[in-house]
Amino acid sequence: MYVAVVEVATRNEIDLDEAKRQLADYRPIIGTSPRGWAEVQMSFMATGLAHACTKAAALARAATGAESIACQVMTEHEYIARQGLEPGLVGGGRHTASHEQWSLPRQPTAREAT
């Protein structure tokens, strides 16, 4: 599983209902980036990081009608670790493995190690 956050080259309103409908299988979150661009976050399966980057840009463009200008893609494990979320049940759209249980080992930070 990969998580992608894609900024697209529009500051105009996009049709949120249509974008969410098109991305429904990818657990979309649509908002505005810190620089004011439309931003799409989604989760999906891919064969590797390069495939995930290409897929994320293509999905964002199809859903918003705007070219991708920035794309951050990482494994779901890395996303969970960076967000400080609790690992647990992974589920979602048809492109996710439903009811897959996994645990993420947590390494102490530099602050905790001292």
Question: pLDDT (tens digit, 9 = 90+) per residue, 37-84?
Answer: 999 999 999 999 999 999 999 999 999 999 999 999 999 999 999 988
Give the Cα separation of 111 and 114 in Å (integer): 6
Question: pLDDT (tens digit, 9 = 90+) per residue, 14-34?
Answer: 898 999 999 999 999 999 999
pLDDT reported for residue 79: 92
Domain 2-101: CATH architecture, name and number where available: 2-Layer Sandwich (3.30)
Ordered by start, the domain boundaries in the chain are 2-101
Q: What residues have CB less than 8 Å from 58, skipping those under 6 apart?
A: none
- Check pLDDT > 50 for residue 97: no
Q: Is 23 helix (H, G, I), strand (E, B) or coil?
A: coil
Give the Cα separation of 42 and 93 in Å (integer): 10
- Check pLDDT > 70 for residue 100: no
pLDDT reported for residue 104: 37
Cα distances from 111 to residues 50, 79, 108, 114, in angstroms, run: 33, 21, 8, 6
For the whole model, what pTM was predicted?
A: 0.71
What does the DSSP assignment read for 38-55?
Answer: EEEEEEE--SSHHHHHHH
Q: What is the mean pLDDT of the chain?
A: 81
